[in-house]
Protein backbone atom coordinates (compact mmCIF):
# COMPACT_ATOMS: atom_id res chain seq x y z
CA UNK A 1 0.00 0.00 0.00
CA UNK A 2 1.27 3.46 -0.90
CA UNK A 3 1.69 6.05 1.84
CA UNK A 4 -0.63 8.96 1.04
CA UNK A 5 0.91 12.44 1.24
CA UNK A 6 -1.47 15.37 1.62
CA UNK A 7 0.56 18.55 1.25
CA UNK A 8 2.86 20.11 -1.31
CA UNK A 9 5.63 20.22 1.28
CA UNK A 10 5.32 16.48 1.95
CA UNK A 11 5.51 15.72 -1.77
CA UNK A 12 8.57 17.91 -2.32
CA UNK A 13 10.32 16.42 0.71
CA UNK A 14 9.50 12.86 -0.41
CA UNK A 15 11.02 13.58 -3.82
CA UNK A 16 14.24 14.99 -2.38
CA UNK A 17 13.62 18.72 -2.02
CA UNK A 18 13.21 21.76 -4.25
CA UNK A 19 16.31 21.20 -6.38
CA UNK A 20 15.45 17.56 -7.13
CA UNK A 21 11.81 18.35 -7.95
CA UNK A 22 12.92 21.17 -10.25
CA UNK A 23 15.22 18.77 -12.10
CA UNK A 24 12.54 16.07 -12.25
CA UNK A 25 10.06 18.47 -13.80
CA UNK A 26 12.51 20.12 -16.19
CA UNK A 27 12.70 23.46 -14.40
CA UNK A 28 15.97 25.39 -14.49
CA UNK A 29 15.70 26.67 -10.94
CA UNK A 30 14.59 25.38 -7.56
CA UNK A 31 12.92 28.77 -7.15
CA UNK A 32 10.09 27.52 -9.38
CA UNK A 33 9.27 24.87 -6.78
CA UNK A 34 9.24 27.51 -4.04
CA UNK A 35 6.74 29.50 -6.08
CA UNK A 36 4.52 26.41 -6.40
CA UNK A 37 4.55 26.09 -2.62
CA UNK A 38 3.57 29.75 -2.27
CA UNK A 39 0.80 29.32 -4.85
CA UNK A 40 -0.48 26.19 -3.14
CA UNK A 41 -0.46 23.91 -6.20
CA UNK A 42 1.87 22.19 -8.61
CA UNK A 43 1.47 22.93 -12.34
CA UNK A 44 -0.96 20.41 -13.81
CA UNK A 45 1.53 19.47 -16.53
CA UNK A 46 3.81 17.94 -13.86
CA UNK A 47 1.28 15.47 -12.45
CA UNK A 48 2.28 12.40 -14.47
CA UNK A 49 6.01 12.57 -13.84
CA UNK A 50 5.60 13.49 -10.19
CA UNK A 51 2.97 10.81 -9.51
CA UNK A 52 5.24 8.22 -11.13
CA UNK A 53 8.20 9.37 -9.03
CA UNK A 54 6.11 9.24 -5.86
CA UNK A 55 4.92 5.73 -6.71
CA UNK A 56 8.53 4.59 -7.14
CA UNK A 57 9.11 5.81 -3.56
CA UNK A 58 6.03 3.97 -2.25
CA UNK A 59 3.99 7.14 -1.91
CA UNK A 60 1.00 8.84 -3.51
CA UNK A 61 -0.69 12.24 -3.37
CA UNK A 62 -4.14 13.54 -4.30
CA UNK A 63 -4.49 15.06 -7.75
CA UNK A 64 -5.97 18.17 -6.15
CA UNK A 65 -2.39 19.22 -5.33
CA UNK A 66 -2.09 19.74 -9.10
CA UNK A 67 -5.48 21.46 -9.40
CA UNK A 68 -7.04 18.31 -10.89
CA UNK A 69 -10.21 16.94 -9.24
CA UNK A 70 -9.97 13.36 -7.93
CA UNK A 71 -11.72 10.82 -10.13
CA UNK A 72 -14.81 9.28 -8.65
Domain count, the chain: 1
Residue 72: its pLDDT value, please?
A: 59
Report CA torsion sign: 46, 51, 52, 56.
positive
Bridge partners for 4 per DSSP: 60
Residue 70: its pLDDT value, please?
A: 82
In a domain, 21, yes or no: yes
Q: Are 5 and 11 in contact (CB under 8 A)?
A: yes
In a domain, 27, yes or no: yes
CATH number where 27 lies: 1.10.260.40
Query: Residues in the chain with pLDDT < 50?
Result: none
Amino acid sequence: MLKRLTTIEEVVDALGGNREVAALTGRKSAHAVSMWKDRGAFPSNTILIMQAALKSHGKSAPSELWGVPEAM
